[in-house]
Amino acid sequence: MRIPSMSLKGEVAIVTGARRGIGKETALVLAEAGADVAISDLVTETGELAAVAAEIQSLGRRALTGKVNAAKAEEVQAFTQKVVTELGNVSILVNNAGIGSSFGISEPGNRAEQLKKGQEILPLILQNPGIMLWKEADWDKVLSVNLKSIFFSAQAVAPFMVKNKKGVIVNVTSVEAYARGARAADAYPLSKRGIVMATEGLAVDLGRFGIRVNSIAPGAIDTEMMSILTTQPEFLKYMEQRVVIGNKMLPPVSCAHLILFLTSELAHYITGQTVVIDGGFTLSG
């Protein structure tokens, strides 16, 4: 066979931040490809995570859920051990959990409150230097959730992948990682560029044990986090005009398809890379 199978039958995947958006679609795509999938999120009370698990099970795959703060090493370690105990292995890790701007406009929580907060703070961002809005606590939180969590999760799964001489890690960064000079006081772009560097370093560190590590860099994706901004008509129009393919925001499942490719045998020799998926958004700046 010249074309390797994209089947993930027999694999066990962990997807973080999986209750909606890219995480949800990734969990379902990996399950459809044959993997059993453990999903975690900081927010479980809404029933969204349980609904994703039910969909995974409807595909004939095993599912496991957990309330996990990705920025807490002990919670990440405990959930990983639970996955191995109950599902027997872990061979795929998708680090998707994350929050947005360190100016606090895309935290998990009540959507109406977040929309109101976004409407209040956007004029301040546009009218003032970002450094005037900088808050250490918000900065630290974004770096912990978006960047430090990558290391916590990788460290948790590494012993099992090293033992099996096999594993794939995919980190979700952003096109903001390449936005030179963007919002210096906002930890979000910094955290996302850090993920690119972390991906390269982990690829070298783990590669000799048969473990591949890559990232995807989404842009202009139609997610709940982005909706804080895209509910404003002028901003949505600006975003869609810059998407070369179709002039529409990209669906989260497009990212899940790329992650499936990177976790499959088709990507056997790809490691340490960050693949941009944005419909041409970054070409039209």
Which residues are identified as catalytic?
188
Task: Please state, in angstroms and rounded to a whole number, the distance separating the CA atoms of residues 137 and 147.
Answer: 15
User: Tokens 């895209």 identify what position?
Assistant: 230
Handedness of CA 141, 161, 63, 88 (dihedral sign): negative
181: left (phi over 0), alpha (psi -120 to 50) or beta: left
Q: How far is CA 79 from the centre of its chain?
A: 18
